[in-house]
Amino acid sequence: MHAKHFIGNRHVNPHGGLNIAVIDPSDGKPYAEIARGNPHDIDLAIQTARAAFEGEWGRMPAAERGRLLHRLSLAITERVEEFTQIEARDCGKPLKQARADAIAVARYFEFYAGACDKLHGETIPYQAGYTVLTLREPFGVTGHIIPWNYPLQIFGRSIGGSLAAGNACVVKPAEDACLSLLRLAELAAEVGFPVGAINIVTGYGNEAGTALVAHPGIDHVSFTGSPAIGKLVAQVAANNHVPVTLELGGKSPQIVFADADLELALPVLINAIVQNAGQTCSAGSRVLIERSIYERAMDKLADAFERLRVGPAQMDLDCGPLIRQQQQQRVWDFLSDAHADGIAVMAQGTIVPDAPESGFYQAPTLLRDVPFDHRLAQQEVFGPVLAAMPFDDEAQAIKLANGTQFGLVAGVWTENGARQMRMARAVRAGQVFINNYGAGGGIELPFGGVKASGHGREKGFEALYGFATLKTVAIRHG
Ligand code: NAD
């Protein structure tokens, strides 16, 4: 399979004709090629998006835009299995995870379809003789940089929100996983999106990605990826005074108090670190457990970890492979540091014998008594590695929870209502979940971070405020 860019509702060869091999993480073998985008391709995509914004797409009434988004949602729903297969192979996701992502992207477009004609301004009481109103207007052309871990979901929340606000989009997906997005853009053209509303240029971050962010024709950048690249992207965008939404990494804590319902919490704690092989920005990668129940909870966690099975996407087990060999090496490096520093592996899952040796597998690993200031407790591993540590009281739990550079998501497990409220306020994170984690995806729920986890919000209606600019109109009429 040889995939091209998708620009102006057409498949377009890269200028210069270079390609990138696509590797199947389940067996480590190449199975397709994508176009290697460059500044020339980015320029073409941005010009095409600009023409759409100034033409048919930009002039389309909001309700009509909503109908198109809804049509796309329905078309995705009819093809959930097709998207499941593409995403599972491209990302190495177990089928059930890939299917959940395909269903989620349809739901994003459904949500944003209904929101298109509900984004409105206000009138503001002012001095006598004036009428003052605000308009929420699209920026124009928005650039979207997307990582490989949830291509479909992140496309839904980022491009869905931007289109709903009336922008035209240029998307640079990750070089490791972008095939589902090319198919999605093609499907959008099939259901009637005007030429240039959605454009996709594939390629490397330091080539096509940099060119997109630096281009003077971009009016807003939405970046989802690592904190280091996010900082770089914000610096480059600042040269053109372009606003940036940064959705970055995390080291999200799950805080388990002694009065928690452990039976309710355990499967959620496990899923929060095993889902997508731990390659999730909001992975619950630290578990803080009140000391009086620490041993009991750790035994239960260990039991559950030992039952986890890892294998190829098509086997649809608890956990698939990591995305690429470098990611596998990164996880191994973290684990060898843990070993060198005497951190105990309490339990591990099993890589099934049928998993090809050339695939990028890592058994889910539970580490106990991880020192608070250790790399394993501070940095994002981005693999199925859970760092556990005890705490003595609420004050210490808060200190540990807030004691990293990140602040994306937190989970709090307690039956005490007053403590639920105190913790919700005290923990510094973009989302706090009490007696659940992730609320089952939460398309409607604003999402984003504080500190090194980024700024700006996507998902929910809040995203629309981020993808629109506010204009104040003051009319003096006497
Ligand atoms: P990454 O930062 O290496 O890459 C992300 C995207 O940025 C890719 O498309 C890549 O090609 C592009 N890129 C790389 N260098 C670039 C540059 N110089 N200029 C412009 N674009 C560039 O991240 P990754 O390893 O692909 O993804 C993992 C990271 O993403 C983790 O830190 C994870 O927590 C984070 N993430 C965050 C969220 C969120 O919503 N907060 C969601 C998913 C992933």
| Nearest ligand 1 atom to alpha carbon 225 | 30
Ligand 1 in reach of 229 Cβ (< 6 A): yes
Query: Does the C-beta of 142 come closer than 6 Å to ligand 1?
Result: no
Closest residue to atom 40 of ligand 1, CA basis: 247
Which protein residue has the closest C-alpha to ligand 1 atom 10? 205
How far apart CA 246 and CA 233 sit, in angstroms, is 9
Does residue 205 line the site of ligand 1, with CB under 6 A?
Answer: yes
pLDDT for 1 equals 85
pTM for the whole thing?
A: 0.97
What integer pLDDT is reported at residue 13 of this predicted model?
98
Q: Which atom of ligand 1 is nearest to the CA of 249?
A: 34
Q: What is the pLDDT of residues 143-164, one digit of tens each?
A: 999 999 999 999 999 999 999 9
CA of 290 to the centre of ligand 1 (A): 34
For residue 283, the model assigns a pLDDT of: 98
Supply the residues annotated as catalytic: 247, 281
In the numeric block, which tokens belong to residue 240? 């053109």
Q: 245 C-alpha vs ligand 1 centroid, how far in Å?
A: 13
Residue 245 Cβ contacting ligand 1 at under 6 Å: no
Residue (of 132, 199, 195) closest to 169 by Cα position: 199
**pLDDT for residue 441:** 84
Q: For ligand 1, atom 43, which residue shows the shortest CA distance?
A: 281
Of 101, 146, 149, which is best to mutate to test ligand 1, by the most ligand atoms within 8 angstroms of its C-beta?
149
Q: Is 94 in the pocket of ligand 1 (CB under 6 A)?
A: no
Q: How far is the CA of 116 from the centre of ligand 1 (A)?
A: 28
pLDDT at 440: 79
Q: What is the pLDDT of residue 457?
A: 96
Q: Check if 176 has its Cβ closer than 6 Å to any atom of ligand 1.
A: no
Mutating to test ligand 1, I would choose from 22, 178, 226, 251 the residue with most ligand atoms within 8 A of its C-beta, which is 226
Domains of the chain: 2-248+455-475 (3.40.605.10), 253-443 (3.40.309.10)
Ligand 1 lined by 385 (C-beta under 6 Å): no
Q: Is there an atom of ligand 1 within 6 Å of 206 CB?
A: yes
- The answer, yes or no, to whether any atom of ligand 1 lies below 6 A from the CB of 380, is yes
Residue nearest to atom 31 of ligand 1 (CA): 226
Share of the chain above pLDDT 70, in %: 100
Q: What is the pLDDT of residues 102-147, one digit of tens each?
A: 999 999 999 999 999 999 999 999 999 999 999 999 999 999 999 9
Q: 167-202 pLDDT, tens per residue?
A: 999 999 999 999 999 999 999 999 999 999 999 999
pLDDT of residue 196: 98
Shortest-distance atom of ligand 1 to CA 212: 20
**Three-state secondary structure string covering the chain:** CEECEEECCEEECCCCCCEEEEEECCCCEEEEEEECCCHHHHHHHHHHHHHHHHCHHHHCCHHHHHHHHHHHHHHHHHCHHHHHHHHHHHHCCCHHHHHHHHHHHHHHHHHHHHHHHHCCCCEECCCCCEEEEEEEEECCEEEEECCCCCHHHHHHHHHHHHHHCCCEEEEECECCECHHHHHHHHHHHHHCCCCCCEEECCCCHHHHHHHHHHCCCCCEEEEECCHHHHHHHHHHHHCCCCCEEEECCCCCEEEECCCCCHHHHHHHHHHHHHHHHHCCCCCCCEEEEEHHHHHHHHHHHHHHHHCCEECCHHHCCCECCCCCHHHHHHHHHHHHHHHHCCCEEEEECEECCCCCCCCCCCCCEEEECCCCCCHHHHCCCCCCEEEEEEECCHHHHHHHHHCCCCCCEEEEECCCHHHHHHHHHHCCCCEEEECCCHHHHCCCCCECCCHHHEECCECCCHHHHHCEEEEEEEEECC
* Whether residue 145 has its Cβ less than 6 Å from ligand 1: yes
Q: Which of the residues in the chain have pLDDT under 70?
A: none
